[in-house]
Amino acid sequence: MINITDKTQCCGCQACANACPKACISMQADEEGFLYPHIDSSKCIGCNLCEKVCPIIRKPTTTPVLASYAAKHKNTDVKLKSSSGSMFSAIAEVILKEGG
Ligand code: SF4
Ligand code: SF4
């Protein structure tokens, strides 16, 4: 069961409150307005789901990046209308040209 004794160990993401099957975790604001979980231990069934979903307790696993690529549309007009490099447009154009 989640038990916050050090506020640096909680980012207030609410994952624990959302995951609790007994809805016994409520997010309550501290004196500065930051939300932290409070558990009604009388309803807790000890399933530990709250700890399993907590990103602070259970650090996310990382996988090595094997390769990465960057690309941009060759047409500057198209590119300037895009929020990124307009690669969606470029790929969509080719796929539609080939029948979808
Ligand atoms: S241990 Fe299970 S029931 Fe208890 S607070 Fe955590 S998620 Fe809720
Ligand atoms: S899941 Fe962990 S970090 Fe997120 S609010 Fe609950 S205790 Fe804090």
Q: What percent of the chain has pLDDT over 70?
A: 100
**C-beta of residue 62 within 8 angstroms of C-beta of residue 33:** no
- Is any atom of ligand 1 closer than 6 Å to the C-beta of 25? yes
Euclidean distance between the first and final Cα of the chain, in Å? Answer: 51
- State in Å: Cα 69 to ligand 1 middle: 43
What residue ranges line ligand 2, CB within 6 angstroms? 2, 4, 10-16, 37, 53-56
Predicted confidence (pLDDT) at residue 24 exceeds the cutoff of 90: yes
- Is any atom of ligand 1 closer than 6 Å to the C-beta of 23? no
Query: What integer pLDDT is reported at residue 60 of this predicted model?
Result: 79
Comparing 96 with 59, the larger pLDDT belongs to 96
**Dmax of the chain from CA atoms?**
64
Counting ligands in written order, which one lies closest to the CA of residue 15?
2
Query: Has this prediction a pTM greater than 0.75?
Result: no
Give the closest residue to 88 by CA, choosing from 97, 98, 78.
Answer: 78
Give the closest residue to 16 by CA, choosing from 28, 35, 4, 2.
Answer: 2
Q: Where are the domains of the chain?
A: 7-53, 69-100
- Is any atom of ligand 1 closer than 6 Å to the C-beta of 20? yes
Query: What integer pLDDT is reported at residue 91 of this predicted model?
Result: 94
Alpha-carbon span 66 to 12, nearest angstrom: 33
Residue 39 pLDDT grade (very low, low, confident, very high; cuts 50, 70, 90):
very high
Over residues 41-85, the pLDDT tens digits come to: 999 999 999 999 999 999 878 889 999 999 999 999 999 999 889
- Is any atom of ligand 1 closer than 6 Å to the C-beta of 48? yes
**C-beta of residue 93 within 8 angstroms of C-beta of residue 51:** no
Q: Any bridge partners for residue 38, and if so which?
A: 26
Predicted confidence (pLDDT) at residue 94 exceeds the cutoff of 90: yes
Query: What integer pLDDT is reported at residue 4 of this predicted model?
Result: 87
Q: Which CATH architecture has domain 7-53?
A: 2-Layer Sandwich (3.30)
